[in-house]
């Protein structure tokens, strides 16, 4: 009965040796912003591939990327457009690419943030919509909210938007148009008042000094 | 309705729920299958009418998931760090005198850099439950980050009674009949001049390289060094001094190594990554052993960028995407070896 035991041991070894490489799905890796990957890098490293497209005026938004299930997602400028790109993380070969409406977002941080990807494969990415150019979006939203939205209103809307694409094929799923959803309206306000938390008033406002 | 565009900063994904702060005082939470929630977060100045106290300006501060809510911070105006627990509710907040870096949470602790234009003068830890200070490094006074006081106009909403209602015939006591209008309430915006504290170098998280927590070690840049601190006590485990004018631009880790992007700056101030440094700025990638800070690898790169580690590769994004992998050949497929032995 030694053979089955040997096979069982080898099976265990295989499982240990074939661990799934880690993903990096949002800014600083995860919701705790740990900045830590489970992957162990073996140094030295060598550069294996690059992506270096820019717009004609030299603009590039490529300052963040996310990786999930062997694919890397990032925004890049090329041919006067900004694109959401999904590429093979090992080779850089494009799997799909989707054009975004605005080549450069006016707020520098929004422009440089790049996408984030959820566990179910929703890719969130920022854009700025121009009035009259939102046909794809209008159709996706009309399908998601039947009878609740006027197609004309969506087509005419403009402003900052959070897009969602599906990770596998890059299809438009939905988006959140900030102005249409009331971001500029009268909103609830959380006021951080001193009286609410007695502990706060007792601790010094500076973090400097000797540890407690 | 005011139609000022709202721009968002780094998103936080908790499951399928998306959160972000805006450049303004807006905090957004959105679950595509469920709800969307907008709220304004306000830190009123002491002894000032809450209605006219100036608003916060997050500058896209990266929210972080904590065990009891969401961590938010602001270092542009009346600076604060807070944990908010739901819609328009806080667990606690504390006032600050310094700029804030990109925070992380670990168990019931929030850790962040603080101080200076890139929040790299020190590192602190507070507990998520009450905001109580657990430790800070270095154990010396870090000067308050300077602010100016600007005068801004803040609209105060008042209710005035105005004679614009229905007209009536009214008989006066002297018998005379007159036409009179009803007084009706009308909301008016009255501009009020108020002082607003304004940081000279706000939004330090734009220039902050981040902090990592590996095992029971926290590693970050503080006071001109790369430091590894005991997560529970803040005690120094090791320190690696940075060279003259050197600054960490991004910092990530694996279980064994901390990997940094470091620049020798020609400017006094550190730029955000998306701003190209002055020509001649030298930048390199550096890997240090987590156990003792010993150097494991170094390589020059053309420009500073953000780092991520995934799929056993290091990626640098500096306007160009660079993928780095090990020089060693990939390990043999163990499943094939097992099959050969098992078949004998």
Is pLDDT at B83 greater than 50 in this prediction? yes
| Contact present, B41 and B25 (Cβ < 8 Å) | yes
Give which of A109, A92, A114, A89 is closest to A26, Cα–Cα: A114
Give me the pLDDT at residue B154, please: 80
Pairing label, strands B122-127, B167-171: unpaired
How confident is residue B156, by pLDDT bands cut at 50, 70 and 90? confident
* Nearest chain A residue to B296, by CA: A43
The pTM of the whole model exceeds 0.80: yes
Q: What is the pLDDT of residues B48-79, one digit of tens each?
A: 888 888 889 999 999 999 999 999 999 999 99
CA distances from B290 to A132, B251, B305 (A): 54, 13, 22
What is chain A's length?
A: 212
SS3 content of chain B, % helix, strand, coil (to 5): 5, 50, 45
Is pLDDT at A10 greater than 80 in this prediction? no
Give which of A90, A86, A91, A51 is closest to A72, Cα–Cα: A86
Q: Give which of A7, A19, A28, A94 to mutate to test B binding, by max B Cβ within 10 Å.
A: A28
CA distance B14 to B146: 35
Determine, for residues B311 and A70 on separate chains, whether the beta-carbon distance falls below 8 Å: yes
CA distance A178 to A176: 6
> Can you say how many angstroms the Cα of residue B24 is from the centroid of all Cα atoms in its chain?
13
Determine, for residues B311 and A14 on separate chains, whether the beta-carbon distance falls below 8 Å: no
CA distance B86 to chain A (A): 10
Closest Cβ opposite residue B141 in set A28, A39, A208: A208
On chain B, the residues whose CB falls within 8 A of the CB of A206 are 96-98, 141-142, 144
On chain B, the residues whose CB falls within 8 A of the CB of A179 are 3, 5-6
How confident is residue B126, by pLDDT bands cut at 50, 70 and 90? very high
Give me the pLDDT at residue A16, please: 46
Where in chain A does DSSP place strands (E)? 45-51, 66-68, 71-78, 81-88, 94-99, 116-117, 122-129, 159-166, 172-177, 189-191
CA distance A143 to chain B (A): 14
Tell which wins on pLDDT, A2 or A76. Answer: A76
DSSP secondary structure of A152-168: HHHHH--EEEEEEEETT
Token pair listed for A148: 């609740």
What's the sign of the alpha-carbon dihedral A61, A62, A67, A72?
A: positive
Give which of B243, B154, B147, B280 is closest to B204, Cα–Cα: B147
Give the residues across from B167 on adjacent strands.
B181
Q: What is the pLDDT of residues B186-235, one digit of tens each?
A: 888 888 888 899 999 899 999 999 999 999 999 999 999 999 999 999 99
Token pair listed for B65: 């998931």
Give me the pLDDT at residue B49, please: 84
Give which of B14, B251, B233, B24 is closest to B120, Cα–Cα: B251
What's the sign of the alpha-carbon dihedral A100, A104, A106, A111?
A: positive
How confident is residue B336, by pLDDT bands cut at 50, 70 and 90? very low
What percent of chain B lies above the pLDDT cut of 70? Answer: 94
Least confident of A22-31, A48-57, B43-52, B122-131: B43-52
Mean predicted lDDT score pLDDT of chain A: 81
On chain B, the residues whose CB falls within 8 A of the CB of A11 are 338
The H or E element containing residue B156 is: strand B147-162
CA distance B12 to B84: 14
Distance between start and end Cα atoms, chain A? 62
Give the residues across from A142 on adjacent strands.
none
The H or E element containing residue A10 is: helix A2-17
Is pLDDT at B340 greater than 50 in this prediction? no
Least confident of A158-162, B84-88, B150-154, B281-285: B84-88
Closest Cβ opposite residue A32 in set B106, B296, B318: B106
| Contact present, A115 and A61 (Cβ < 8 Å) | no
Determine, for residues A110 and B255 on separate chains, whether the beta-carbon distance falls below 8 Å: no
Give me the pLDDT at residue B93, please: 93
On chain B, the residues whose CB falls within 8 A of the CB of A32 are 64-65, 104-106
* Nearest chain B residue to A29, by CA: B308
How confident is residue A202, by pLDDT bands cut at 50, 70 and 90? very low
What's the rounded mean pLDDT across residues B166-192?
88
Q: Which residues of B133-144 are buried (b: 16+ CB within 10 A; e: fewer)?
A: bbbbbbeeebee
Mean predicted lDDT score pLDDT of chain B: 90
Give me the pLDDT at residue A129, please: 85
């Amino acid at each position: 009965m030694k053979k089955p035991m040997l096979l069982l041991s080898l099976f265990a070894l295989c499982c240990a040796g074939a661990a799934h490489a880690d993903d990096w799905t949002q800014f600083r890796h995860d919701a705790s912003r740990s900045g830590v990957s489970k992957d162990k890098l073996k140094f030295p490293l060598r550069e294996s591939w690059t992506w270096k497209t820019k717009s004609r005026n030299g603009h590039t938004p490529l300052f963040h990327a996310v990786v999930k299930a062997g694919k890397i997602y990032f925004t890049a400028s090329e041919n006067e457009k900004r694109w959401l790109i999904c590429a093979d993380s090992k080779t850089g070969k494009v799997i799909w690419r989707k054009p975004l409406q605005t080549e450069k977002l006016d707020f520098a941080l929004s422009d440089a943030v790049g996408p984030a990807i959820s566990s179910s494969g929703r890719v969130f990415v920022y854009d700025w919509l121009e009035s009259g150019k939102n046909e794809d979006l209008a159709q996706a939203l009309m399908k998601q909210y039947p009878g609740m939205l006027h197609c004309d209103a969506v087509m005419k809307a403009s402003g900052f938007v959070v897009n969602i694409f599906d990770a596998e094929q890059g299809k438009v799923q939905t988006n959140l148009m900030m102005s249409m959803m009331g971001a500029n309206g009268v909103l609830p306000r959380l006021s951080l008042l001193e009286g609410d938390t007695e502990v706060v008033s007792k601790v010094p406002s500076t973090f400097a000094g000797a540890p407690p | 309705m005011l139609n000022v565009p709202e721009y968002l900063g780094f998103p936080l994904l908790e499951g399928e729920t998306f959160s972000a702060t805006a450049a303004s005082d807006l905090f957004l939470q959105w679950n595509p299958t469920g709800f969307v929630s907008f709220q304004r977060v306000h830190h009123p100045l002491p002894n000032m009418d809450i209605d006219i106290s100036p608003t916060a300006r997050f500058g896209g501060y990266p929210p972080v998931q904590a065990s009891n809510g969401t961590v938010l911070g602001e270092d542009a105006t009346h600076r604060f760090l807070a944990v908010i627990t739901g819609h328009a509710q806080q667990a606690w907040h504390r006032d600050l005198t310094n700029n804030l870096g990109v925070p992380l949470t670990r168990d019931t602790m929030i850790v962040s850099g603080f101080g200076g234009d890139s929040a790299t003068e020190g590192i602190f830890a507070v507990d998520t439950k009450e905001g109580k200070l657990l430790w800070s490094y270095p154990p010396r006074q870090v000067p308050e980050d300077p602010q100016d006081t600007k005068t801004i106009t803040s609209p105060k909403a008042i209710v005035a009674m105005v004679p614009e209602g229905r007209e009536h015939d009214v008989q006066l006591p002297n018998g005379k009949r007159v036409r009179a209008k009803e007084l009706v309430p009308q909301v008016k915006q009255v501009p009020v001049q108020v002082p607003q504290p304004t940081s000279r170098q706000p939004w330090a998280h734009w220039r902050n390289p981040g902090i990592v927590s590996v095992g029971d070690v926290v590693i970050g840049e503080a006071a001109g060094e790369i430091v590894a601190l005991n997560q529970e006590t803040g005690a120094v485990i090791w320190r690696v001094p940075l060279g003259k004018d050197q600054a960490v631009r991004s910092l990530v880790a694996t279980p064994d190594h901390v990997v940094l992007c470091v620049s020798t700056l020609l400017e006094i101030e550190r730029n955000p990554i998306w701003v190209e440094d002055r020509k001649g700025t030298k930048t390199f990638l550096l890997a240090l052993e987590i156990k003792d800070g010993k150097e494991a690898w170094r390589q020059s790169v053309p420009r500073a960028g953000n780092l991520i580690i995934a799929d056993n590769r290091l990626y640098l994004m500096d306007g160009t995407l660079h993928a780095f992998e090990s020089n060693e050949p990939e390990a043999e497929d163990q499943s094939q070896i097992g099959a050969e032995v098992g078949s004998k």
